[in-house]
Chains A and B, each alone.
Chain A
Amino acid sequence: DTAVSQTPKYLVTQMGNDKSIKCEQNLGHDTMYWYKQDSKKFLKIMFSYNNKELIINETVPNRFSPKSPDKAHLNLHINSLELGDSAVYFCASSPIGQGLSYEQYFGPGTRLTVT
């Protein structure tokens, strides 16, 4: 039983297309995140949601729009894909704010390739 799952695992698409990545966690956590790992291997936070409310929005182009239909899901929609969007995208969740530990639990990642 996967704690944090992402679909798809691989995504190859052309420039200009719109695509979505889905994330689900079954840990009962209130907080979810999207991270981007670029070609230089840095993991950088993009967004964070707590109980469906956006709490962190880093300097990310507005072509990226997260959506949280409920606290167990955080999807990432990307419009007008560009070559520079090619990266591995990780979803994570955390019990932050629930009086528990602050560790974040990551999904397996989605490798996005824009051609």
Chain B
Amino acid sequence: DQQVKQNSPSLSVQEGRISILNCDYTNSMFDYFLWYKKYPAEGPTFLISISSIKDKNEDGRFTVFLNKSAKHLSLHIVPSQPGDSAVYFCAASSQGGSEKLVFGKGMKLTVNP
């Protein structure tokens, strides 16, 4: 029973363009969401997070949008750079983030020069 879903396994974009990564969740108790980036043979690295009291959080080139009614969040990367090529995981937790993280399956982003 996947509570966090990343339905697209991969995305390819041109350098300088926008990358949009999507994530859906089913558990309405989730109230804290995170994005992680993972390079091969390395552990996931925290990228950006958002609490359910917000609908947008921005950090440099990375912006996460949350649509609670649709149980959907997205990560926007603008402009995309070749170094952004990695697998991106969406994760969610409840009770303000104090509960365990539930991860999606990940999506591979390729940014072409």
Contacts and interface: CB of A to CB of B under 8 A. Distances in A.
B106 A102 contact: no
Contacts of A106: 36, 43-45
Interface residues of A, number: 24
Number of chain B interface residues as a range:
20 to 34
Contacts of B36: 106
B49 A101 contact: yes
A27 interface: no
Given A4-B43, A45-B101, A90-B44, 11 more contacts: A33-B100, A40-B105, A41-B105, A41-B106, A43-B103, A43-B106, A58-B100, A96-B98, A108-B43, A109-B41, A109-B42
Interface of B: 32, 34, 36, 41-46, 49, 89, 93, 96-98, 100-103, 105-106
Interface of A: 4, 33, 40-45, 48, 56, 58, 90, 92, 96-97, 101-109
24 contacts: A40-B105, A42-B105, A43-B103, A43-B106, A44-B103, A45-B101, A45-B102, A92-B43, A101-B49, A102-B32, A102-B34, A102-B93, A102-B96, A102-B98, A105-B46, A106-B36, A106-B44, A107-B43, A108-B41, A108-B42, A108-B43, A109-B41, A109-B42, A109-B43
